[in-house]
Structure 1
Amino acid sequence: MTEIKASIAGSVWKFSVSEGDTIEQDQDIVIMESMKMEIPIPAESDGTVKEFKVAEGDFVNEGDIIAIIE
């Protein structure tokens, strides 16, 4: 199990994948928005997206868990 965490404080703009999708390491899974910039958050390992811990539009702080990959 891998926890994907926010690398910055900002809003969750959109998901690039869905729960249940098989993903590869470095594939973008979430696009964050901070200070009018779009920041992609990549997967740290291959696996399947088990669960998102946030919703689009949520504000998250640096280090908050965004998703769980198995």
Structure 2
Amino acid sequence: MTKIKAHITGTVWRIEVRVGDEVKAGDAVAILESMKMEMPVEADDGGIVDEILVEVSQSVTEGQVLMVLR
């Protein structure tokens, strides 16, 4: 299992994938907003989205797990 973590503290602005979607390394899976800037969160590895642990408008901290891939 691969965990996708927030690389900055911010707010989940958009989630680009759904459970069951296949992603490749480098695909943007979510967009975080921090200091009025949109920052994409990219998958480090490929896999299938198994869990999405956050919701749009939720505040997240740097290092928080956003999604789990299998």
Task: State whether TM-score is above 0.5.
Answer: yes
Runs of 4+ in 1 over 4 A off after TM superposition: none
Tell whether 2:36 aligns with 1:36: yes
Measure how far apart 1:59 and its partner are. Answer: 0.1
Q: Percent identity?
A: 40
Tell me, which stretches of 5 or more residues in structure 1 are unaligned? none
Aligned to 1:12: 12
Paired position in structure 2 for 1:67: 67
**How far did residue 19 of structure 1 move?**
1.1
Alpha-carbon distance between aligned partners in 1 of 2:3 and 2:47, rounded to the nearest angstrom: 11
RMSD: 0.5
Q: Deviations over 1:12-68 (max 9, x none)?
A: 000111111011000000000000000000001110000111111100000000000
Which amino acid in 1 is paired with 2:45? S
2:49 matches 1:49: yes
